[in-house]
């Protein structure tokens, strides 16, 4: 069974973030593999392992100036990486991203496509489903468990009131929530092996996509960025054994107690 | 008014519309001269409520026969748009809402704006999106042909009934949705919940990494219970597998606006703050006096949650 995992290299969320002059997220610094994607990579590795054959391919879009994040996925055990990197893609929206990923995934014809429910930098959260629609495939989002049984994928999908058992024929797009599996740490052997694994870098022209992607394809623009109304810090006490009492008094003062 | 028609996707839940659906209908009413709604399941039972909150027409996709809503509902909307396109389609940020938005966007080849917390008419619709933990707001609009698809976060607007007559129900069935519609629900599990829903609770008590280990989340659950509130969590402990995703408060989780939000052992990553900074009062308990959470807390205790919470539980029990 071959599994594609859609991944994204993002600016380190722990570092200060800003928007550049064209209101795009400043991605000029160091990029890392989005932690949210490590769950999909781990899940894919486990499913392929269980199936007994096949491989995991990670597919991405974005700057390929630094591919350390992709190497991280390869070090975990993915066989190869494909990244579409092109200046023409700057300012591409979620639908455009899905178009790019769809063009790459068509060449791979996997049995299963995994992704995070959303990226940790853009948070749009629609790309995997847009991708499924473009590929004409079913999709199951918010999976908290994924099992493949022959040509069927069975998922426990998070709902507002609990979860649903959902099943679909493969190929299918599945998005996994964080915590679905525990991502492995890359071993030293894995890190060494990743250095010689293939990372294919493609351009928009390689995929024949043209004007459907990039800022003109996005058909949306940011008109302003304003500072939001901020909250003020209130009282603060160091607990000297009376912290709970103080909280009770505060809750009384706001009539919660 | 430059905005003539808005459609709102309204989600059924236990014979009623979800609170976010009602919030969207209410706001759509203030923006457009005509508001229609799209639902599925048993539309006829929802017509009165949809009308009360401002929809004049309720398109009903009908029984989905176990299919996940994303594909059939998007297919139905695409068919309806072909005949009479609205200026915008508003969709709640929810598990199914996001599926519908993604499917519809690709099907119509129209862009989607998500994580929206405000929509205003400034010679066309302008959306507001909190970024960087809600410290800044991005304003955006669509530049191409409509309809634009707007996915709106819960609690962005206050739901208010307009006293409108029941909406006219129009059947909007879809045919075979082909391979893409093949994902179906085989069994639904309802998890038992004691106390209010996280998004609707007046008191939310949330735990984070400062709890140290999964077992200590019991302190959060107990405190929440004693305050008749709901238990929430930061992304860190959900990612660590301590608590189910449904408890997560923040950018990737739920937005809450309770009377009081009590953050325990939560440092206050921007990811988390955006989901709770709209709370009326914020209480924070954290060992680190410089934790960012204290910058937005109305009342802070610099202390160890392992000491403060058990003491708080004792005091609340004594009052009960």
Looking at beta carbons, which residues of chain A come within 8 Å of B109? 95
Residue B187 domain flag: no
Q: 3-class SS at A111?
A: coil
Range with the lowest mean pLDDT among A159-163, B57-61, B92-96? A159-163
Prediction pTM value: 0.94
Look up the CATH number of the domain holding residue A8.
3.40.50.620
Residue A121 domain flag: yes
Torsion angles phi and psi, residue B168, rounded to 5? -75, 125
- Which has the higher per-residue pLDDT, A14 or B53? B53
Looking at beta carbons, which residues of chain B come within 8 Å of A20? none
Residues B10 and B155 placed together within one structural domain of the fold = yes
Residues B83 and B173 placed together within one structural domain of the fold = yes
Residues B172 and B215 placed together within one structural domain of the fold = no
Residue B159 domain flag: yes
B253/B275 Cα distance (integer angstroms): 7
Residue B109 domain flag: yes
Looking at beta carbons, which residues of chain A come within 8 Å of B314? 244
Looking at beta carbons, which residues of chain A come within 8 Å of B230? none
For chain A, the average pLDDT equals 94
Yes or no, beta carbons of B180 and A138 under 8 Å apart: yes
Report CA B119 to chain centroid distance, whole Å.
16
* pLDDT score of B119 more than 90: yes
Q: What is the pLDDT of residue A213?
A: 84
Residue A251 domain flag: no
* β strands within chain B, DSSP E: 5-9, 12-13, 16-17, 34-39, 57-60, 88-92, 112-116, 118-121, 125-131, 136-142, 148-152, 168-171, 184-190, 203-207, 230-233, 260-264, 281-286, 299-302
Neighbours of B19 (CB within 10 A): 17
Residue B195 domain flag: no
CB proximity A119 to B under 8 Å: no
How buried is A211 (Cβ within 10 angstroms: 0-12 exposed, 13-18 middle, 19+ buried)? Answer: exposed
Total domains, chain A: 1
Q: What is the pLDDT of residue B1?
A: 46
Residue B194 domain flag: no
**Among all chains, which residue has been given the structure tokens 């809750």?**
A251
Q: What is the pLDDT of residue B126?
A: 96
- Distance from A132 to chain B by nearest Cα, in Å? 8
Q: What domain range is B37 assigned to?
A: 5-181
Residue A226 domain flag: no
Residue A247 domain flag: no
Indicate the pLDDT class of residue B295, thresholds 50, 70 and 90.
very high
B182/B195 Cα distance (integer angstroms): 36
Residues A187-220: tens digit of each pLDDT? 999 999 999 999 999 999 999 887 678 888 889 9
Q: What is the pLDDT of residue A180?
A: 86
**Nearest by CB to A165, which of B71, B186, B227?**
B186
Contacts of residue A65, defined as CB under 8 A and 6 or more positions apart, other chains included, come to: none
* β strands within B22-77, DSSP E: 34-39, 57-60
Interface test with A, best of B131, B143, B148, B268 (most A CBs within 10 A): B131
**Nearest by CB to B182, which of A19, A163, A168?**
A168
Total domains, chain B: 2
Mean pLDDT of B88-95: 96
Torsion angles phi and psi, residue B295, rounded to 5? -70, -20
Q: What is the pLDDT of residue B235?
A: 92
Residues B198-240: tens digit of each pLDDT? 988 999 999 999 999 999 999 999 999 999 999 999 999 998 8
* pLDDT score of B77 more than 70: yes
A94/A233 Cα distance (integer angstroms): 36
Residue A245 domain flag: no
Q: What is the DSSP secondary structure assignment for residue B83, as one 8-state letter?
A: H
Looking at beta carbons, which residues of chain A come within 8 Å of B309? 244
User: How many residues are listed for chain A in this entry?
Assistant: 257
Q: Which of B43, B46, B49 is nearest to B61 (CA)?
A: B43
Neighbours of B213 (CB within 10 A): 9
Output the CA–CA distances (angstroms, integers) from residue A70 to A25, A55, A77, B25, in the order listed: 20, 15, 11, 43
The CA-based dihedral angle spanning residues B17, B271, B119, B21, taken in that order and rounded to the nearest 10 degrees:
0
Output the CA–CA distances (angstroms, integers) from residue A50 to A2, A109, A177, B320, in the order listed: 12, 20, 20, 52
Q: What domain range is A116 assigned to?
A: 3-218
Residue A238 domain flag: no
Residues B282 and B150 placed together within one structural domain of the fold = no
Q: Would the ipTM clear 0.90, i.e. be above it?
A: yes
For a pLDDT cut of 90, what percent of chain B falls above it?
85
């Amino acid at each position: 069974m071959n599994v594609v995992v859609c991944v994204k290299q993002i600016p380190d969320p722990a570092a200060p973030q800003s928007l550049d002059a064209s209101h795009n997220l400043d991605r000029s610094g160091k990029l890392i593999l989005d932690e949210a994607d490590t769950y999909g990579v781990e899940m894919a590795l486990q499913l392929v392992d269980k199936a007994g054959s096949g491989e995991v391919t990670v597919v991405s879009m974005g700057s390929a100036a630094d591919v350390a994040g992709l190497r991280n996925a390869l070090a975990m055990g993915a066989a190869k990486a494909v990244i579409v990197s092109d200046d023409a893609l700057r300012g591409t929206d979620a639908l455009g991203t899905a178009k790019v990923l769809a063009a790459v995934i068509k060449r791979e014809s996997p049995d299963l496509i995994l992704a995070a429910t959303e990226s940790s930098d853009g948070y749009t959260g629609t790309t995997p489903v847009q991708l499924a629609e473009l590929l004409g495939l079913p999709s199951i989002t918010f999976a908290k468990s994924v099992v493949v049984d022959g040509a069927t994928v069975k998922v426990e999908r998070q709902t507002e009131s609990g979860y649903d058992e959902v099943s679909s024929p493969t190929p299918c797009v599945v998005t996994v929530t964080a915590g679905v599996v525990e991502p492995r740490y890359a071993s030293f052997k894995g890190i060494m092996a990743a250095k010689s694994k293939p990372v294919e870098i493609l351009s928009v022209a390689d995929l024949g996509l043209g004007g459907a992607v990039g800022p003109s394809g996005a058909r949306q623009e940011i008109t302003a960025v304003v500072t939001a109304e901020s909250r003020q810090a209130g009282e603060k006490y160091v607990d000297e054994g009376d912290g709970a009492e103080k909280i009770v008094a505060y809750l009384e003062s706001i009539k919660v107690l | 008014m430059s905005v003539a028609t808005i459609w709102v996707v309204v989600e059924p839940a236990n014979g009623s519309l979800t609170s976010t659906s009602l919030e969207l209908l209410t706001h759509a009413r203030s923006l457009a001269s005509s508001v229609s709604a799209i639902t599925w399941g048993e539309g006829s039972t929802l017509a009165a409520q949809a009308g009360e909150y401002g929809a004049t027409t309720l398109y009903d996709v009908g029984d989905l026969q176990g299919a996940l809503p994303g594909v059939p509902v998007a297919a139905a909307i695409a068919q309806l748009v072909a005949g009479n396109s609205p200026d915008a389609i508003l969709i709640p940020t929810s598990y199914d809402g996001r599926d519908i938005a993604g499917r519809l966007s690709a099907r119509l080849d129209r862009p989607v704006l998500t994580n929206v917390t405000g929509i205003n008419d400034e010679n066309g619709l302008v959306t507001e999106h909190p970024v960087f933990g809600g410290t800044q707001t991005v304003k955006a609009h669509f530049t191409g042909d409509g309809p634009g698809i707007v996915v709106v976060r819960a609690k962005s607007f206050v739901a208010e009934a307009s006293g409108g007559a029941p909406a006219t129900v129009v059947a909007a069935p879809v045919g075979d949705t082909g391979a893409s519609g093949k994902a179906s629900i085989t069994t639904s599990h309802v998890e038992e919940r004691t106390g209010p829903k996280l998004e609707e609770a007046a008191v939310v008590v949330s735990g984070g990494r400062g709890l140290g280990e999964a077992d200590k989340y019991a302190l959060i659950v107990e405190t929440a219970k004693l305050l008749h509130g709901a238990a929430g969590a930061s992304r860190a402990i959900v990612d660590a597998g301590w608590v189910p995703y449904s408890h997560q408060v923040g950018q990737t989780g739920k937005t809450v606006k309770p009377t009081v939000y009590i953050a325990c052992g939560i440092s206050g990553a921007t990811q988390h703050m955006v989901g709770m900074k709209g709370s009326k009062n914020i209480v924070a308990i954290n060992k680190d006096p410089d934790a960012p959470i204290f910058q937005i807390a109305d009342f802070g205790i610099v202390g160890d949650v392992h000491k403060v919470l058990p003491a708080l539980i004792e005091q609340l029990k004594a009052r009960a």
